[in-house]
Each structure stands twice: as C-alpha cells, then as structure tokens.
Structure 1
Amino acid sequence: MSQRDGDNGTATSTDEVKPRWRLVGPGLVVAGTGVGAGDLVATLTAGSKFGYALLWAVVLGTLFKIALVEGAGRFSLATGRTIFQGWQTLGRWTGWYFGPYIVIWGIVYGATAMSSSALPLVALFPEGPDLKVWAISMGLIGFALVWLGRYGIVEKLMALFVGIMFVTVVGAAVLATPNLPDMVGGLVPRIPDGGLVNTLAVAGGVGGTITLAAYGYWLREKGWSTPGWMKVMRIDNSMAYVMTGIFVVAMLIVGAELLYSSNIAVGSGDKALIGLSDVLDDRYGEFFGKLFLFGFWASSFSSLLGVWHGVSLMFADYLGTSRGLAKDDPRMHSGGAYYRGYVLWLTFPSMALLFLDEPVAIILAYGVLGSIFMPFLALTLLGLLNTDRVPREWRNGLFGNVVLGVCALMFLAVGANELYKAVTGVF
C-alpha cells in the first residue's frame, strides 16, 4: 500500500505509515459524538414497540450516514476546502441558514447535553448533588478538556468512551439473548402498523446530525488533508459507522427482548435509559444495572465532548470565512479566538436554560432550524459533488447520487415531521 503524506502529497512506503487499524481516528470521534442518549432511546423505543421489525431501518440508516460522511470527507480531501467554504460557493443563502442555526442550536444543545450527561450520575449517586449541579459540572469539565483545542486528547478520550459503550451496550444485548430467527426476519423491509414515524426516526437518526459535517474538520485536525488520504478516510468512516450500527442494533435487541417480549414500559426521553437500568437490575442484578448507567453516561458525555470540540471548529470557520479572513488565520482554527468563543457559548449561556422550565421560544426555533439540517446537508453535497467544485475523479457516480438523493428525500420527510411537532407541539 502506498499513501500520501502531509501537505505535500508525496507518496510514502508501506513501512513509513502505520497499519490501517491504527490510522482510524476522526471516524471514531464522529461515532462517539453521534451516538448519544437520543439514538439509544430512539432504537430502544423502536425495539420495545415493534420488536425486530425495524432492524432493516437501522441498517439502512447506518448506510446512509456512511454515504453522507464519506461525501463530506471526500469534498474536504479533494478540494482542500472546509464544508462551509464549499457551501458558500452554492450561494449566500447557505450562510443565512447556517449562521442562525449554529447559534441557536448551540445554546439548546449545550443545555440538553449537560442534562443528559448528568442524568445517569444522579441515578448512580442518589445521595449526591442534584441534576443541575451535575449538569453544570459536566459542562465545565467538557469546557476544560477542549479549551486548548487539542485534537489528540479528544480522540484518545473518545476511544475510551466508545470502549465503555461497547462493553455496556453490547453487553446488555448479549445478556438479553437475541432471537436470531426474528432478527433475520427484521432485515426484510416493512413498516409496521402505526410505525411510519418510528421508522423514519430510526433510519434518519442513526449517528448524529451536525457532527456529520464536522468530520472534515476532524480530518484536518488529524493531518489528513490531501487526496492521498482518501482510501484511509473511507476505511476510517466505514469502520466508525459499522461501530455505530452495532450500538444501535444492540439497543434494538435490548428493546425487543427485555421490553417488547415482556410488555414492559420504561418511560420516554433519557429517563427511558434510567428505566432500562432498573429492568437490568431486576433481571441480572444491581451490578449490571449500574454498569449500564455508566455506559449511558459515557454515551452522553462523549457526545458533549465531541460537539464542544467539532462544532466549535465549524463555527470558527463559519465566522472567519463569512468575514473574508484567510484560511490560515489562527482565529479560525482549533484553540483560536472564534473557536474559544463558541466553546464559551456552548457552556455558559446554556447553563441558564437549566434553570428555565420551558424556554419555549428558543426550543421552538431550534426545532424549526434543526429539522432541515439533514436535508440541507444531503442536498448541498449533491450540489458540491456533481460540479467542477470537485476534481472530476472525485465527483459522484450514479450510485452515489442515488444514495444521496434517497437520503435527501428521507430526511425531508423526517424534517417535515419534526417541523410539524415543533410548530404544533403535537408529539
């Protein structure tokens, strides 16, 4: 195998590059960030309602996310541009959408991530501080870990968290003893009665939203910046989303075997995972319930950490590019002024939301803007990867266009449903 090195694109010998498995990095960060409590709850709920009937949707959703992230990574490596710099070539409207979105998304997600990370800690330590204290602590720890913008620290921590998630989430699925014939039957595409929304949520919600677009920034932080890294990027991305698929399939197994088969309800939202830990307590002993709560925490905090780092890089690029700064301006990069400004925004204003019972206006705007991000990403990638914005050898083929086109249609349907819920308050 020959690989291209650094910024000069020169080939290096096999002896000079690490084995492929050791090159995996940014994809692991995407996987750790993208699989949060929301993904676990969505697949747990699908399994508890429909058994294995939506297993095919999990697999399909994983394949879609591989295609989207590969497209974002391919654009970055082929052109040397960030995804936002690519969006700008499609027209100013992209910045008019993305600017308000990333600002509103940040403050709402910040509060959500802190609360989600705190919830399992409250359950693990019932005599300890209350939820708000734990939540603020999680925000401050995330803030401290990413303030200097050290990508290597983030990657190592993500590897640790993904390992914890694998042991706990997949371990719970093994304990549940999956029914293999039913699983095979679940690979046949069908939508159960009353299950359209759940099907779309499972297929569309596997493995992150805005963090998919952050992949190109993590490639840059890793030092993968030329087309010579294209093959490695594709291996990295595929392995990451195979891992993501394993996590969500595991949660579907848990929902199908422990909840659906026993007709057990565990509540909604993140509290569903607390309810699941109680079920594991009852079935397999307190140790397994506590271990699952630890995995729940790892899943939530890894998402917080990845967003604090990756989306801050996106904001820095957005602000600097919008202001016409040079690409190498330090304010636009990890640890720079714009990056740190968004880390502050994610952390401290978000804490105020923890003390508001229903910050309706902000959450409504978050829902409206967020509902169209995934179709926005799919459609803009179609525009970027089929034109002379990308060298011909790296443009989409027929298969890539079909996959991204189906992605766009599916995410439009998911987005329309989310938009309806946000505007009407009907869930």
Structure 2
Amino acid sequence: MAENTSGAGDRAVLDASTPPTTGRWKLIGPGIVAAATGVGAGDLVATLIAGSRFGYALLWAAVIGCIVKIALAEGSARYHLATGSTMLEGWKSLGRWTSWYFGIYIMVWGFVYGATAMSATALPLAALFPAVPLWLWAILSGSLCAIFVALNKYEMFENAMKFFIGVMFVVVVGIALLVVPNIGEALTGLIPTIPEGSAIYTLGLIGGVGGTITMASYGYWVNAKGWRTPAWMGVMRLDNRVSYIMTGIFVIAMLIIGAELLYTAQIALSTGDRGLLDLDEVLEQRFGRVVSVIFLIGFFATAVSSILGVWHGVSLLFADFVRNLKGEGGSREGLEKTFAFKFYLFWLTIPPMALLWFGRPFTLVIIYGALGAFFMPFLALTLIWLLNSSRVPKEWRSGWISNGLLGISALLFIVLSVNEVVGLFARG
C-alpha cells in the first residue's frame, strides 16, 4: 500500500478506495518507473542511429511510438484496477498455452537479459574508472541492484527510479540543447515520411523505445503504489500519460543529438550499447571532457534504472506466475516477500555472470530473440482479448480509441517480430 503523504493525523496508509481530489501530480510514480525501465542503453543507440542516418525525418515516428506505449501501459493497468486481478491471472484465463509460453520466455529472457543489462551498466563506469575491469563493474552493478531491491519496499524503489530518470532526462535534454537543434527541420520531421531504406528503422523507432516485458509490470507497480480500485483510474491515466510524454521528450532529444552531431558529420556509431561510447568520444572532441563525463553519468543512470526496474518488476511477474501456476488464489499482496520473487532476483543476477566470460551461445541467442520478438504482439493481442471480454466490467472495457491503438500496436509488433526472427536465422 502507498504511504500517506498528506500528513493528516496518524494514518500510515492511504485508503485505496479514496483517491485525493487535489494534488494528484504528487502521486505520479509507477509510470515513471515503467518508462525508465523500458528505455535502456540499446534504445538510446537505436534512436541515435536513426537520427544519424535520416536526420529529423523520423521524428514523427518517435511521437507515434509514445502514443502506442501509452495505450499498452494503460491497458495493462486498467485490467488490474477494473478487475482486481493481475495480468498473469488474465493470461491464465485464456488457456494453458499462455503459461507455457510465458514460463519458458521469462526464464530464457531473464538469463540473457541479466548479462546484457549488467554489461551495459558497466560500460560507462569502466569509461569513468578504467582501473576497475569491465567484468567487475558488471558483477557489482547486478549484485548491488539485487540487494537494493531485496531489502527495500516499493516506495524506496520508486524514489530511486525517479532520481535516476531525473538525471538521465536532464543530461540528455541538456546535451540536445547544447548541440543547438534546427527547429525548422525538427518541425518538418513531425510530418510522416519514410525515407528510402528507413522502413525497419521507422517501425523499430515506433515499437522499440520503452517497449519491453516491463510494460506488463506497470499494473503491478500501480497496485504496489496503493491504487487497487477503479476509483484510481483517473490518477493512473494521468501518471501514465505524463511519464510517456517525458519519454517522448527524452527520445526526441536523443534523435536531435543523432541528427545534429552525427548526421551532419556523417559519423557512424557501433551497434549495441557500445555505440554510446562512440558518442562519448564525439562529445569530448566537440565540447570537452566535462560534457563527456556528464554524458557518461547520464548513460549510467539510464542503464542502472533499467536494471533496477527489471530486477523489481519482472521478479513480481515471475512471483505472480508461480502463484498462479500453483493455483494459489486470494490476494496478490506480498509478492516481494515470496521465495519465487527472491529466486528470480537470483536468476537475473548470478547465473548470467557466466555469460560475462563465455559470451552468449548461438542457440541461446536464437531462442531468446525468437521468444522475445513475440512478447509485445502477445501483450497487445491478449490485452485486446481481455479488455473486450466479460472479465472486465462493461464501463471499463476498451472503446474504439483504445482498441484502435492496441490494434495498431499488435500489427506493428507482428511485423517487427517477423523481421526479428528472419534476421536471427539470416545471421545464423
């Protein structure tokens, strides 16, 4: 339950049935957690590369992408608030096949993602403090984040996420202003166009930034905040929209940096997280070491917020998955205290350390990529199914706007998933 922040009397807990009529802006938090978790170092590189190759031409795609994410996150949280059930309970009601898919996916995904996230967080730390090897920074990052999540309640976790997203937002937007964006070209970039050779980049920009398994965690974070009834629907929607508007500004800032620093100078970045180290070198040459260090701090804030968010949010999903698998009914409170939650924290942190030395085996990469490619279509399609069914009270079922956005999301992610799977086997 969310702690009372009004200071009235001795109430320690905010009544979940009575959202405040004023001061709702002060309650914003779960959406920021979801947005900060979904935007990782890889997303930043993808946005930078789009800007470096096509300038401002795909700016409109970044805006559309945020609208798509608002619809997906809102749908997930609306199901929680309207039904009193969780996404895992909803998926289970659709058939046993959902449990098979999700169970295999979350285990493979967590093993590979753990190593990827720890490595990404280690990159800026190793650049700032090269005396410590990359692998040690990776192990320290994963371990300390796991300990923090295990020992702290949701409120402290949310505050930490707000701090890191604040740092990354200020740093990235500040650098975007420093490079002096071309306002005229930026406004032109809001007009939908698809330059030659940009189709996949366009779809990726719409679907990629902020779009991960953690979107399904949003409803759990909403519940952890103390929002548990339909009365909180308005607060949740405000929280969701504000957070993804912030994400949109953040993504636009990254695209501006790519367009102004890289596109005009025809500088190519490395793919993957290391592309941000290439940008760091460009920034140091252009603006000096101070700006370079500030950027690396923002890079670290971006990467570590993704670790914290995944360590907490996906562990909640796994704990609820186990609860449903065992057929345990009743309240979903206290998932953070279960053995399943702690096991998945371990699974994300300790076994993936082996991949830091041995790399990712090809077969595992194929399974990870294929299962991961289908998660966002799975989320979008099952949300359409659930939110238009009798499981949801009539007044909270999806209208034409929600159905339209979720339908567009599903189509988009299906195209992206097919492209991802084809690419995986083509590389093999």
Same fold at TM > 0.5: yes
The residue aligned with 1:190 is 193
User: Are 1:116 and 2:120 an aligned pair?
Assistant: yes
**Cα distance, 1:7 vs structure 2:** 9.3
Contact 1:136–1:351 (CA under 8 A) maintained in structure 2: yes
The residue aligned with 1:72 is 76
Aligned residues between the structures: 417
Equivalent residue in structure 2 for 1:98, among 102, 108, 128: 102
Identity %, equivalent residues = 53
2 CA distance for matches of 1:225 and 1:314? Answer: 17
Equivalent residue in structure 2 for 1:146, among 131, 146, 149: 149
Contact 2:322–2:340 (CA under 8 A) maintained in structure 1: yes
Counterpart residue identity of residue 159, structure 1: K
The residue aligned with 1:204 is 207
Q: CA RMSD of the aligned region, Å? A: 1.6
The residue aligned with 1:215 is 218
The residue aligned with 1:406 is 408
The residue aligned with 1:89 is 93
**Cα distance, 1:424 vs structure 2:** 2.4
SS in 1 for 2:282: helix
Contact 2:19–2:231 (CA under 8 A) maintained in structure 1: no
**Cα distance, 1:423 vs structure 2:** 2.3
Structure 1 residues 32, 122: CA separation in 2 closer, same or farther (over 3 Å shift)? same
The residue aligned with 1:46 is 50
SS in 1 for 2:259: helix
The residue aligned with 2:4 is none
The residue aligned with 2:165 is 162
1 CA distance for matches of 2:416 and 2:288? Answer: 39
Contact 2:122–2:137 (CA under 8 A) maintained in structure 1: yes
Q: Which moves more between the two structures, 416-425 or 311-320?
A: 416-425
The residue aligned with 2:30 is 26
Superposition pairs for residues 203-352 of structure 1, below 5 Å?
A: 203-328=206-331, 333-352=335-354
**TM-score under structure 2 length normalisation:** 0.95
SS in 1 for 2:398: coil
**Cα distance, 1:222 vs structure 2:** 0.7
**C-alpha offsets along residues 346-387 of structure 1, whole Å, 9 cap, x if unaligned?**
000011111113422222111010000000000000000111
Structure 1 residues 258, 312: CA separation in 2 closer, same or farther (over 3 Å shift)? same
Superposition pairs for residues 122-133 of structure 1, below 5 Å?
A: 122-126=126-130, 128-133=131-136
Structure 1 residues 212, 13: CA separation in 2 closer, same or farther (over 3 Å shift)? closer
**TM-score under structure 1 length normalisation:** 0.95
**Cα distance, 1:337 vs structure 2:** 0.9
Return 5+ residue gaps in structure 2 as ranges. Answer: 1-10
SS in 1 for 2:132: coil
**Cα distance, 1:425 vs structure 2:** 1.6
2 CA distance for matches of 1:322 and 1:140? Answer: 28
2 CA distance for matches of 1:423 and 1:20? Answer: 49
1 CA distance for matches of 2:369 and 2:143? Answer: 26
Counterpart residue identity of residue 290, structure 1: V
2 CA distance for matches of 1:179 and 1:225? Answer: 45
Structure 1 residues 80, 113: CA separation in 2 closer, same or farther (over 3 Å shift)? same
SS in 1 for 2:350: helix
1 CA distance for matches of 2:398 and 2:354? Answer: 44
Contact 2:19–2:232 (CA under 8 A) maintained in structure 1: no
Contact 1:149–1:335 (CA under 8 A) maintained in structure 2: no
1 CA distance for matches of 2:264 and 2:20? Answer: 54
Contact 1:214–1:311 (CA under 8 A) maintained in structure 2: yes
Return 5+ residue gaps in structure 1 as ranges. Answer: none
**Cα distance, 1:283 vs structure 2:** 1.0
1 CA distance for matches of 2:212 and 2:14? Answer: 29
User: Are 1:59 and 2:63 an aligned pair?
Assistant: yes
SS in 2 for 1:147: helix
**C-alpha offsets along residues 134-185 of structure 1, whole Å, 9 cap, x if unaligned?**
1001011111101135111110111110111011111110011110110111
Equivalent residue in structure 2 for 1:353, among 352, 355, 360: 355
**C-alpha offsets along residues 174-228 of structure 1, whole Å, 9 cap, x if unaligned?**
0111101101111111111111111111110121310000001101111110001
Counterpart residue identity of residue 413, structure 2: F
SS in 2 for 1:349: coil
Structure 1 residues 284, 329: CA separation in 2 closer, same or farther (over 3 Å shift)? closer
2 CA distance for matches of 1:357 and 1:366? Answer: 14
1 CA distance for matches of 2:292 and 2:274? Answer: 14
SS in 1 for 2:151: coil
2 CA distance for matches of 1:8 and 1:120? Answer: 42
1 CA distance for matches of 2:232 and 2:91? Answer: 22
**C-alpha offsets along residues 279-304 of structure 1, whole Å, 9 cap, x if unaligned?**
11111111001100110010000000
